[in-house]
Amino acid sequence: MTVAVSLFLAAGCTRQSAVKRFVGWEGPYEGGTYPPVFEKWTRESRIYRGLDLELLVHATYQSGDFRTAYVKEYARVYQFNETQTTELQTEQDERARRFHEFMIAAYVPDKKWDDFNREESSWKIYLDLGDGTQVPAESIEKKKPDAKMKHFFPYISPWKSVYRVRFPKAPSMAEEGTIRMGITGVRGRIEMEWRSAP
């Protein structure tokens, strides 16, 4: 009996020692280069009516610089090999060639105004070419946030709706080096600006 109990306990200890219970963790990015690049290409803007908040928006412009950092971080997190990383970078480069693309997280106190993706939305999202011309969004897609999206866009929260907004690429804007995106409606207007590399 004593021998059997000893063997059982020894076997249990062996199984326990094979399990790594604690893993060192320095934060979600492990000191990588993604956070400063993310901050560089992210803007925040608000609309107030008196003291009442009408709209809070965080927007990230997915520039070529941002996409490179995104691919590097994605490959690190998911342990991509060289081939997988190259394929992801090629996909991101193609999207950058075709679109001015933004990830937007918006908080609207009254949910009936949270309708950015609807055809008859109470809001209009546009790019300003700098000469009075406004380019409407080609697509506004409402996204369902998950852990992966939250990792890459940490301003996402349960109180915000998330949208991917795409505009057709305009060569004149790329040459200018300034990207201006506006959101306007009966509740007010905001405009955010990014300086892209020439």
Q: Is residue 57 part of a domain?
A: yes
Q: Is residue 8 part of a domain?
A: no
Domain total of the chain: 1
- Dist CA 105 CA 121 (whole Å): 16
Q: Give residue 26's pLDDT.
A: 56
Q: Which residue has the higher pLDDT, 23 or 148?
A: 148
Q: Give residue 10's pLDDT.
A: 43
**pLDDT confidence bin for 84, thresholds 50/70/90:** very high
Residue 22 has pLDDT above 50, yes or no: no
Q: Which residue has the higher pLDDT, 132 or 179?
A: 179
Q: Is residue 13 part of a domain?
A: no
Look up the domain containing 161 and give its range: 32-195
Minimal CA–CA distance to 169: which of 102, 64, 99? 99
Q: What is the pLDDT of residues 165-185, one digit of tens each?
A: 999 986 655 445 788 999 999
Q: Is residue 20 part of a domain?
A: no
- Strand-pairing partners, residue 102, are 61, 165
Q: Is residue 152 part of a domain?
A: yes
Mean pLDDT across 181-197:
90
Residue 156 has pLDDT above 50, yes or no: yes
**pLDDT confidence bin for 197, thresholds 50/70/90:** low
Residue 89 has pLDDT above 70, yes or no: yes
Residue 39 has pLDDT above 80, yes or no: yes
Q: Is residue 178 part of a domain?
A: yes
Q: Give residue 130's pLDDT.
A: 72
Residue 198 has pLDDT above 60, yes or no: no
Q: Is residue 78 part of a domain?
A: yes
Minimal CA–CA distance to 45: which of 54, 37, 36? 54
Q: Give residue 52's pLDDT.
A: 93
Q: What is the pLDDT of residues 42-69, one digit of tens each?
A: 999 999 999 999 999 999 999 999 999 9
- Dist CA 62 CA 12 (whole Å): 51
Residue 24 has pLDDT above 70, yes or no: no
Q: Is residue 139 part of a domain?
A: yes
Is-contact 123 183, C-beta < 8 A?
Answer: yes
